Structure 1
Amino acid sequence: MAGKNISMAVIRRLPKYYRYLGDLLDNDVQRISSKELSEIIGFTASQIRQDLNNFGGFGQQGYGYNIEALHTEIGKILGLDRPYNAILIGAGNLGQAIANYSGFRKAGFEIKGLFDANPKIIGLKIREFEILDSDKIEDFVKENKIDIGILCVPKNGAQELADRLVACGIKGLWNFAPMDLNVPEDIIVENVNLTESLFTLSYLMKEDE
Structure 2
Amino acid sequence: MKSNNTKVSNAIIRRLPRYRRYLNELRKQGVKKISSNELSELIGYTASQIRQDLNTFGGFGQQGYGYSVDSLFHEINKILGLDREYKTIVVGIGNLGQAITNYTYYYKIGFNIVGLFDVNPKLVGLSINDVLVRDFSEMSDFVKENDIDIAIICVNRENAQKVTDVLVDAGIEGIWNFAPVDLNVPNDVAVENVHLSDSLHTLSFLIRSNELEDAEK
1:7 maps onto 2:23 in alignment: no
Q: Aligned residue for 2:82?
A: 80
Give the one of 198, 208, 214 matched to 1:206.
208
Letter of the structure 1 residue corresponding to residue 88 of structure 2: A
Letter of the structure 2 residue corresponding to residue 186 of structure 1: D
RMSD: 1.2
Instruction: Provide, for residues 125-183 of structure 1, a one-character-per-residue CA deviation record: whole Å limited to 9, x for no partner.
Output: 21111211111001211221100110000000000000000000001010000001111
Letter of the structure 2 residue corresponding to residue 38 of structure 1: S
TM-score by length of 2: 0.93
1:97 maps onto 2:95 in alignment: no
Q: Kindly report which structure 2 residues correspond to 1:179-198, keeping only aligned pairs within 5 A, or say none.
A: 179-198=181-200
Distance verdict in 2 for CA 1:105–1:83, change over 3 Å: farther
Q: Matched residue pairs, number?
A: 209
Q: CA deviation at 1:106?
A: 2.5
Q: Aligned residue for 1:64?
A: 66
Q: Work out the CA distance in 1 between the residues paired with 2:122 and 2:208.
A: 42
Q: CA deviation at 1:57?
A: 2.0
Q: Aligned residue for 2:214?
A: none
Q: Aligned residue for 2:113?
A: 111
Judge which range, 159-168 or 115-124, deviates more: 115-124
Percent identity, aligned pairs only, is: 59
Q: CA deviation at 1:105?
A: 6.2
Instruction: Provide, for residues 66-111 of structure 1, a one-character-per-residue CA deviation record: whole Å limited to 9, x for no partner.
Output: 0111001010000111211010000000000000014686332101
Where in structure 2 are there 5+ consecutive unaligned residues?
Answer: 212-217
1:152 maps onto 2:154 in alignment: yes
Judge which range, 98-107 or 134-143, deviates more: 98-107
Q: Aligned residue for 1:169?
A: 171
Letter of the structure 1 residue corresponding to residue 38 of structure 2: E
SS in 1 for 2:4: coil
Q: CA deviation at 1:5?
A: 2.0
